[in-house]
Amino acid sequence: MDSATEAPEKPQIYLTTPASFELGRFPDLLARVLDDCEIACIRLELASRDEDTLSRAGDALRSVAHARDVAIVISDHQVLAERLGLDGVHLSDASRSVRAARKSLGADAIVGSFCGASRHDGLTAAEAGADYVSLGPVGTSGLGDGNQAPRDLFQWWSEMIEVPVVAEGGLTPELVRELTPYTDFFGIGDEIWRAEDPVVALKGLIASMDG
């Protein structure tokens, strides 16, 4: 089956949070983005490993997301995903934890896997039951081990693999334009949160899908 022919006409937006944010301000900003742009999923991507910090952030963002029927996952902390009533987990250790996360969270949870620029890891994660595989960085970014995921990797994936793929890391309007035919989702985070107005920045990237 060629998933590219059956994918949505345009990739959907998969939003990642900043690595740190003010709990008194960011949920309102996120709400504004969700109200102005169509978002498929949010990933809570805090650098903090403090359980209280993560829990309070997860509670606040879940309320914002679920009020708008948007799914929210958390990076790596599958215990917190269950405890906080989030929709699933995003695993950053390539394909290694997919089976365990699926067994723990159940069939209905979202389990995604970041696989860098590795076709092998992506295939392993897909075979282990991942709902999506994230590949990147596609541009200059601190994501992963520094190896960039090239366009031909996404092109091959879209032609050969049914499991949806996310393109993320260092996205620019040019890269969005280039990858639009070959990815199911764009993972967007710092590209907009560093901007003066994240909504304007996101709309600019979305507009790039049209060439």
Residue % of the chain over a pLDDT of 70: 96
The DSSP H or E segment spanning 192 is: helix 190-193
Q: What is the pLDDT of residues 166-189, one digit of tens each?
A: 999 999 999 999 999 999 999 999
Q: Over range 184-200, report the average pLDDT.
A: 97
Residue written as tokens 């035919």?
A: 181
Q: Over range 63-69, report the average pLDDT.
A: 98
Q: Which of 111, 101, 108, 46 is nearest to 79 (CA)?
A: 101
Return the pLDDT at 142.
Answer: 73
Return the pLDDT at 143.
Answer: 75
Asked if CATH classification 3.20.20.70 holds for the domain at 9-208, the reply, yes or no, is yes
Return the pLDDT at 95.
Answer: 82
d(CA 165, CA 158): 8
Return the pLDDT at 211.
Answer: 79
The span from the first CA to the last CA of the chain, in angstroms, equals 27
3-state SS, residue 146: coil
Look at phi and psi of residue 198 and say left if phi exceeds 0, alpha if psi is from -120 to 50, else beta. alpha
Q: What is the pLDDT of residues 3-20, one digit of tens each?
A: 444 445 799 999 999 999
- 96 vs 142 pLDDT, higher one: 96
Q: Over range 136-140, report the average pLDDT.
A: 95
Q: Is the pTM of this model over 0.85?
A: yes
DSSP string covering 39-80: -SEEEE--S---HHHHHHHHHHHHHHHHHTT-EEEEES-HHH
